[in-house]
Amino acid sequence: MAPGSQLCLLFLLQFLQEAAPRSFEVDRQRGIFLLDGVPFRYVSGSIHYSRVPSPLWSDRLHKMRMSGLNAVQVYVPWNYHEPQPGVYNFQGNRDLVAFLKAAANEDLLVILRPGPYICAEWEMGGLPAWLLQNPEIVLRTSDPDFLAAVDSWFHVLMPMVQPWLYHNGGNIISVQVENEYGSYFACDFRYMRHLAGLFRALLGDQIFLFTTDGPRGFSCGTLQGLYSTVDFGPDDNMTEIFAMQQKYEPNGPLVNSEYYTGWLDYWGGNHSKWDTKTLANGLQNMLELGANVNMYMFHGGTNFGYWSGADFKKIYQPVTTSYDYDAPLSEAGDPTPKLLVIQSVISKFQELPLGPFPLPSPKMKFGPVTLKLAGDLLNFLNVLCPDEPIQSHLPLTFEAVKQDYGFLLYRTQLPQNLTKPTPLWVKNNGVRDRAYVMLDGVSQGILERDKDEALFMTGQAGSTLDVLLENMGRISFGYNISDFKGLIQPLVLGDVVLTDWLLFPLNIDALMDSKNRVFETQELNLKSSSGPAFYSATFQLPGPPWDTFLYLPGWTKGQVWINGFNLGRYWTRRGPQQSLYVPGPLLLPTGTPNIITLLELEHAPPRTQIQFLDRPLFNATLH
Ligand SMILES: *[C@@H]1O[C@H](CO)[C@@H](O)[C@H](O)[C@H]1NC(C)=O
Ligand SMILES: *[C@@H]1O[C@H](CO)[C@@H](O)[C@H](O)[C@H]1NC(C)=O
Ligand SMILES: *[C@@H]1O[C@H](CO)[C@@H](O)[C@H](O)[C@H]1NC(C)=O
Ligand SMILES: *[C@@H]1O[C@H](CO)[C@@H](O)[C@H](O)[C@H]1NC(C)=O
Ligand SMILES: *[C@@H]1O[C@H](CO)[C@@H](O)[C@H](O)[C@H]1NC(C)=O
């Protein structure tokens, strides 16, 4: 090749690169997005990898692609990845990069929402509970302690994300800064400016950054330089709300970042069911306007373990274990009639991928399985809390003793004889969130947040008073999300403040990880069927490890583990959720025993049995 033609080739390559660079940007002349310089609109759906076991990610993403979506919107829950300050977990179900790869394999672009606050009805809106070890911290503000924690987290997260940005060859087209910040009390622009600067410093100037707010949140949620988007549902007035967005983004593309396909469930509430027709009409109207839409949720998934959050609207409202959300793809990843309607709306605006939609996954039904009482929780204190208990004059919070989630036991002695029934109560609604009270191991009843009740007790001086506190999930949305757990006020007997406490932070999950050996070896006194107790069984599958739903008829409230995996809370007595989704990949194939363990907190049924169903029971008709 002559030197001249080499030069020509070089120019040609340079020209090609300039003509079609990988880019995602706003065209303000036409009020649209451009992808690689070409008009582009996203029709996206939300999926949270933290709510789906990693072996099922590809399945769910494939179904989202086959529904006609060209993008997925994804939250990164900080508390899922940084369990303790400076300790990070990106393994297995927490492997964010593997999830991005799985989305890329399905040809899905990614709209990333790394917070630091995400809401998502997730524990504390994704913020790590350890932030509250400093009781003075002001979350989601320019409080230097909060900013320092955010900075060090993002210095770990953002370098992992950076190669996945679209212009770097990856699939992330845009990144959201904070989340509905305009709905928070602080309205701290210094904080938002700090975040914007941090995102720019760590991700570069080329990445498209945006904010999302409800229609009333713009004034505190938006920031110059971050594209303002809005969120609203099918019942809201699209014309009015998009007009509000355009006040902040004149000539910019319309974006609904959370178009609600359904809604979440609260314990004690009704199961949410949203009308498909209204949803489809709203979607069609937005797409006709040329708007970009993300459907929240497209696949909801499950609040495994202790990860469900809570709302606060006058009272504390904890979210159920199921996050089915009445979404187009069910909790078990199956297409619903809603999905087919949405798919048909999308098909009027963009081409659907070729090929058949995957069939619903097979489910299995078997049982009953009879559980054996393994013993009262109090019998296991030495293994659940192997360290010496913490001594304290007055009760301390979960945060003060570095117990982030689950359960903390408070123990003291009765200071006097109680011959007449005497009220046991907590000042100023200070129970966070449920207290299971035992006197010399005998259940006395429950104190619950927002109930302002007392238990009446008789007993002898010196008797052991045990109070097991349950964290039902920290508030994830509202005016104030500093939701300290445990006894946040003193416990009072009659008019005597109880003192001289021993605190036992319980690590139940470590015990479950060790495959329950302790339940087989301990010699115990098995009298009780009331108050917190463990029940356990081994069982074989009738066939291949398919998905199933655990049904707990007659059980009251508690936590379930299968093969060491914390499946989440059940609360059969309160509902509406009556069964727990058990993903097939958690189960062991025929020939290998599976272990199930319940921590029943209140009352077990006379027959300590469970069943596995081939469909969920959401108790939709309970009013
Ligand atoms: C929506 O808002 C617009 C502008 O305020 C109004 O003209 C229209 O009647 C509203 N539509 C509905 C269905 O309420
Ligand atoms: C459940 O729905 C019924 C009927 O609509 C209603 O009367 C009841 O108040 C709802 N319950 C809750 C907890 O919202
Ligand atoms: C409590 O009652 C027991 C027996 O019922 C009695 O022996 C004891 O002296 C009483 N203690 C106090 C502090 O009154
Ligand atoms: C939020 O709640 C915490 C804990 O109850 C309290 O200390 C703090 O003052 C509250 N903040 C606001 C702004 O109300
Ligand atoms: C829903 O659950 C409640 C509480 O367990 C039960 O009383 C009721 O019968 C159930 N309703 C339906 C329709 O399953």
The best mutation among 551, 557, 622, 623 to test binding of ligand 5, ranked by most ligand atoms within 8 Å of the C-beta, falls on: 622
Residue 417, ligand 3, Cβ within 6 A:
yes
Q: How far is the CA of 623 from the centre of ligand 2 (A)?
A: 5
Structure tokens that stand for 335 in this block: 């297409």
**Nearest-CA residue for atom 12 of ligand 2:** 269
Residue 128 CA to chain centroid, in angstroms? 12
Is the minimum distance from the CB of 185 to ligand 4 under 6 angstroms?
yes
Query: pLDDT tens, 516-540?
Result: 566 665 555 555 568 999 999 999 9
Percent share of the chain, pLDDT over 90 = 91
| Beta bridge partners of residue 322, listed in sequence order | 302
Express each pLDDT in 174-196 by its tens digit.
999 999 999 999 999 999 999 99
Beta-bridge partner residues of 255: 292
| Chain segment 193-239, per-residue pLDDT in tens | 999 999 999 999 999 999 999 999 999 999 999 999 999 999 999 99
Q: How far is CA 101 from the centre of its chain?
A: 22
Measured at the CA of 410, the angle between CA 409 and CA 415, to 5 degrees, comes to 150
Tell me how far the alpha carbon of residue 478 lies from the centroid of ligand 4, in angstroms: 12
Taking each helix axis as running N to C, give the angle between helix 238-248 and helix 276-288, from 0 to 180 degrees, rounded to the nearest 10: 40
460 lines ligand 3 (CB under 6 A): yes
| Smallest CA separation from ligand 2 atom 8, residue | 623
Residue 623 beta carbon below 6 angstroms from any ligand 5 atom: no
Q: Residue 479: its pLDDT value, please? A: 82
Residues 425 and 447: their CA atoms lie apart, in Å, by 8
Give the burial class of 436: count Cβ atoms within 10 A of its Cβ; 0-12 exposed, 13-18 middle, 19 or more buried. Answer: buried
- Amino acid at the residue 229: T
Looking at ligand 1, which residue's alpha carbon is closest to its atom 11?
237
Of 82, 106, 121, 180, the active-site residue reads: 180
Q: Which two tokens stand for residue 622?
A: 């309970």
Q: Whose CA is nearest to atom 10 of ligand 1?
A: 237
Distance 120 CA to ligand 4 centre (A): 21
Cβ of 156 less than 6 Å from ligand 5: no
338 alpha carbon to ligand 3 midpoint, in Å? Answer: 67
Residue 16 has pLDDT above 70, yes or no: no
Q: Which residue has the tokens 């605006």?
A: 349
Q: Residue of the nearest CA to atom 12 in ligand 5?
A: 619
Separation between Cα atoms, residue 583 and residue 331, nearest integer Å: 10
Query: For residue 425, how far is its CA from the centre of ligand 3 (angstroms)?
Result: 23
The pLDDT of residue 528: 58
* 461 ligand 3 Cβ < 6 A: yes
DSSP state of 95: -
Listed range (86-90, 152-156, 268-272) with the worst mean pLDDT: 268-272
The one-letter code for the residue type at 316 is Y
Pocket lining: 419 vs ligand 1, CB cutoff 6 Å: no
Q: State residue 266's pLDDT score.
A: 97
Report helix, strand or coil for 461: coil
Q: Is the peptide bond before 364 cis (omega within 30 degrees of 0)?
A: no
Closest-approaching ligand to the CA atom of 605:
5
Residue 318 burial (C-beta neighbours within 10 Å; 0-12, 13-18, 19+)? buried
Our answer on whether the CB atom of 621 is closer than 6 Å to any ligand 5 atom is: yes
How far away, in angstroms, is 261 Cα from ligand 2 center? Answer: 20
CATH architecture of 32-348: Alpha-Beta Barrel (3.20)
Pocket of ligand 2 (CB under 6 A): 269-270, 623
| Structure letter (DSSP) for residue 530 | B
Instruction: Check if 32-348 and 366-375+510-613 are the same fold.
Output: no
pLDDT band, very low/low/confident/very high, at 499 (cuts 50, 70, 90): very high
66 φ, ψ to 5°? -70, -15
pLDDT at 478 over 90: no
Domain boundaries, the chain: 32-348, 366-375+510-613, 387-506
Structure-block tokens of residue 395: 């009760």
Q: What is the pTM of this model?
A: 0.94
Q: Does the CB atom of residue 278 touch ligand 1 within 6 A?
A: no
CA 503 to chain centre: 28
Catalytic residue among 178, 249, 258, 470: 258
Nearest residue to 58 via CA among 95, 94, 104, 120: 104
pLDDT of residue 517: 60
Cβ–ligand 4 contact at 482 (below 6 Å): yes
Helix (H) or strand (E) holding 547, with range, is: none
134 lines ligand 4 (CB under 6 A): no
What pLDDT shows up at residue 337?
Answer: 97
Ligand 1 atom at minimum distance from 243 CA: 4
When pLDDT is averaged across residues 475-487 and rounded to a whole number, the result is 94
DSSP 129: G
Distance set, CA 188 to CA 119, 182, 183, 224, 487 (Å): 18, 10, 12, 14, 31
The predicted pLDDT at position 269 comes to 93
Distance CA(380)–CA(398), nearest Å, equals: 20
To the nearest whole number, what is the mean pLDDT of the chain?
94
> Which residue type occupies 16?
L
Ligand 1 atom nearest to 237, measured from its CA? 1
For range 450-466, the mean pLDDT: 96
For residue 24, give Cα distances in angstroms to 207, 258, 303, 565: 8, 20, 33, 40
Compute the distance from residue 236 Cα to the ligand 1 centre, in Å: 10
In whole angstroms, give the CA distance from residue 106 to residue 229: 26
Which residue has the CA at smallest separation from atom 14 of ligand 4?
480
pLDDT digits (tens, 9 = 90+) for 59-93: 999 999 999 999 999 999 999 999 999 999 999 99
Q: Per-residue pLDDT averaged across 372-390, rounded?
A: 94
pLDDT at position 20 is 58
Q: How far is the CA of 482 from the centre of ligand 4 (A)?
A: 6
d(CA 178, CA 146): 14
Query: For residues 118 and 481, what is the distance between their CA atoms, to the nearest angstrom?
Result: 12
Q: What is the DSSP string of 390-430?
A: EEESS--BTGGGT--SSEEEEEEE-SS-EEEEEEEEEGGG-
Question: Could you tell me the two tokens for 113?
Answer: 């929402």
Asked if 572 contacts 553 with a C-beta cutoff of 8 angstroms, the reply is yes
Phi, psi of 561 (to 5 degrees): -120, 140
Q: Which of 460, 463, 493 to mutate to test the pocket of ligand 3 (most atoms within 8 A of CB)?
A: 460
What is the pLDDT at residue 621? 41
237 C-alpha vs ligand 1 centroid, how far in Å?
Answer: 6
CB neighbours (10 Å) of residue 419?
9
The rounded percent of the chain whose pLDDT value lies above 70 is 94
Query: For 452-472, what is the mean pLDDT?
Result: 97
CATH code for the domain defined by 366-375+510-613: 2.60.120.260
Q: Which CATH architecture has domain 387-506?
A: Sandwich (2.60)
**Does 180 participate in catalysis according to the annotation?**
yes
337 vs 406: CA distance, rounded Å = 37
The pLDDT of residue 304: 98
In the residue annotation, 388 being an active-site residue is answered as no
Closest among 36, 211, 50 to 122, alpha carbons compared: 50
